[in-house]
Structure 1
């Protein structure tokens, strides 16, 4: 499916920034790039961007972005962009043809699930002739959405799925226009009518379609749920809301352990906010964090309390930073299967080195003897088996098990290593890690066995 993106306006309320509005960077990515990446995640195969104000700069940026992403991006220069965003949509008509297409705005950031839902609707025939529609608008019916500016948002009045009215300041509204549309060729005829009447806004064309019963709403609450997010980055206040919203989304990782949730994640998000502006890829950060863990393990294995304590502090610092690579990948739309796999492999090596360094210190310098080697082996074995079972166990929890919301993992064992080093109790830390990790493995086996038995009984 093709996607038409409107990036032609002046953006006067963000004019204090040096860049054209579509190129204003937000947490490391220009607004327009975020929209293009979102469209790509929704399954779009080709983008068409309508440019206007400072269009040459925007088109030059898009040429490079197309090469980097491997996504065809065509551009349309629209000299008459000041006539309104409806005229900009009409200017993109040659680019998208007559088939259904997505329509997005360069300053509306959103959950990729929103355009994905519109694409699914197209596949299900939402724009079919006859009883179908010429336009399907993603509507947010959460009237208390804190990311929305009530004074500026475009409101929508509905009757079931039908749009009855649309506009700013609309009384008795049932939802908000998110700036994401699924469109058919009938939209262009409505745009031509609106422009001929001196109305250049997209909303004017939507209102005409609504009057004919040809404009429908996709209720995001029903289609996706309350977790679907979006924000219109119109001014500095909205820019700050968007930044806060994107960072807050990084906290929502279901498989975080207690240490990650309450200690590591709040710190790593602050670091990620700073790292987002650096020319650093998530995979490069994964390697850097691993090297920091190697240094920590070397210090743990050295004689003396100073080296031991320094190694413990570095191990915990690496544990905090270990969350930044994934956060950076999610924040920049750079998640990949390889990146997740690489991070997991490096984490396993880091675990072995940290526990091995602590065991060596207890054996060689604290005189713990064979007990250090035995507890060290048990800690490494338990940690590895726990990590090996993590993906399958998490899938089981999502599919069959409820009411068990706690999870032990790498965040806890690295904290135990750090605490044992700082308290100069390496043997105690190894023993506690071994007991906890292997006990958690046993617990998972029992939970999985009960779940499998329950599934068999239902069958």
Structure 2
């Protein structure tokens, strides 16, 4: 009996891979501006280069985790300075770019796997927990005469992230199941993307550029935490109404 082998993966140049990715992007609706215009583009370049080299999406996920961990450890262990802020911001944003690249590489290779998607979400959750914990540790260690309530900001920010991430993912799953598996596209809007910048991980990564002025950084960090809470409240109310109407 002759067993047919799987067809070989297509051989693409870097330019061909970049071109193909233009037609294999996630929906633009409800996408923050940095993620849409900067991070996905950087991720596409990384995905195309990785495809040509024969790398796997899980390798890119591991690189993303490693870069993010470098930034987190630096925040926890090193006294804040301007050079540290640049290092941390670059590490976090590079990790974010690789986080976008793994999914795009999976689409270039013909589709992702359940274990790859699971690993990606696990890394995202651990990364965010560690990053906000690192901010609390840094503030406690290196900012003198700091009011105790300021140390609650990372807890507030982390709670807002968990509610936003899991609330929106579960909402999308429930609405998709109700719609027979079709994604719920709500329309493309540049204004909406700009309004969503406070909940964009890229905005948080850029905020670490202010780490050389710790108190200024904490003010900006606190504003982002407050805005994330407000977005959460809006999401929860809107989602409750959406699911109640199903």
- Would you say same fold, with TM above 0.5? yes
Matched-pair contact (CA < 8 Å) for 2:40–2:97? yes
State the partner residue of 1:421. 208
Q: Secondary structure of the equivalent of 2:79? A: coil
Larger % of strand: which?
Answer: 1
Is the aligned partner of 1:377 residue 2:155?
Answer: yes
- 410-419 or 445-454, which deviates more: 410-419
State the partner residue of 2:237. 446
State the partner residue of 1:102. none
Unaligned runs of 5+ in 2: none
Q: Give the Cα–Cα distance (whole angstroms) in 2 for the partners of residues 401 and 267 of structure 1.
A: 24
State the partner residue of 1:285. 60
Q: Secondary structure of the equivalent of 2:22? A: helix
Q: Give the Cα–Cα distance (whole angstroms) in 1 for the partners of residues 152 and 124 of structure 2.
A: 22
Identify if the C-alpha distance between structure 1 residues 258 and 24 changes in structure 2 by more than 3 Å, giving closer, same or farther: closer
1:245-283 CA-to-partner distances (Å, cap 9, x unmatched) read: 412023343464322101111111112221112232111
Query: What's the RMSD between the two structures over aligned residues?
Result: 3.2
Cα deviation, residue 356, structure 1: 1.8
Matched-pair contact (CA < 8 Å) for 1:315–1:414? no
Matched-pair contact (CA < 8 Å) for 2:17–2:108? no
Greater Rg by CA: 1
Q: How does 1:205-284 map to 2 (within 5 A)?
A: 243=17, 245-254=19-28, 256-284=31-59
State the partner residue of 2:107. 330
Q: Give the Cα–Cα distance (whole angstroms) in 2 for the partners of residues 26 and 411 of structure 1.
A: 37
Larger % of helix: which?
Answer: 2
Matched-pair contact (CA < 8 Å) for 2:18–2:48? no
Unaligned runs of 5+ in 1: 8-21, 29-239
Give the length in aligned residue pairs: 225
State the partner residue of 1:434. 225
1:336-388 CA-to-partner distances (Å, cap 9, x unmatched) read: 11110110011111111122222322232123342332001001111112111
Task: Point out which structure has higher relative CO (alpha carbons under 8 A, 6+ apart).
Answer: 2
State the partner residue of 1:66. none
